[in-house]
Amino acid sequence: MPAKDPLVYIMHIRDSCRRIAEYTITGGDNWTSQPLIMDAVCRNITIIGEAARKLDDSFHRAHPEIPWSGIIGARNIVMHAYEFLRPELIREMAEEDVPELLAHCLRLLGEE
Q: Could you state, in order of their start, the residue ranges of all structural domains in the chain?
A: 6-108
Furthest C-alpha separation in the chain: 44
What pLDDT sits at residue 7? 97
Q: What is the mean pLDDT of residues 65-80?
A: 96
Q: What is the mean pLDDT of residues 50-76?
A: 97
- 1 pLDDT band, cuts 50/70/90, is very low
Q: Specify whether the CB–CB gap between 100 and 70 falls below 8 A.
A: no
Q: Specify whether the CB–CB gap between 94 and 29 falls below 8 A.
A: no
What CA–CA distance (Å, rounded) separates 4 from 102? 20
The reply to whether the predicted model has a pTM over 0.75 is yes
Q: What is the mean pLDDT of residues 24-53?
A: 96
Q: What is the mean pLDDT of residues 79-87?
A: 89
What pLDDT sits at residue 3? 63
Q: Which residues of 83-92 are buried (b: 16+ CB within 10 A; e: fewer)?
A: eeeeeeebee
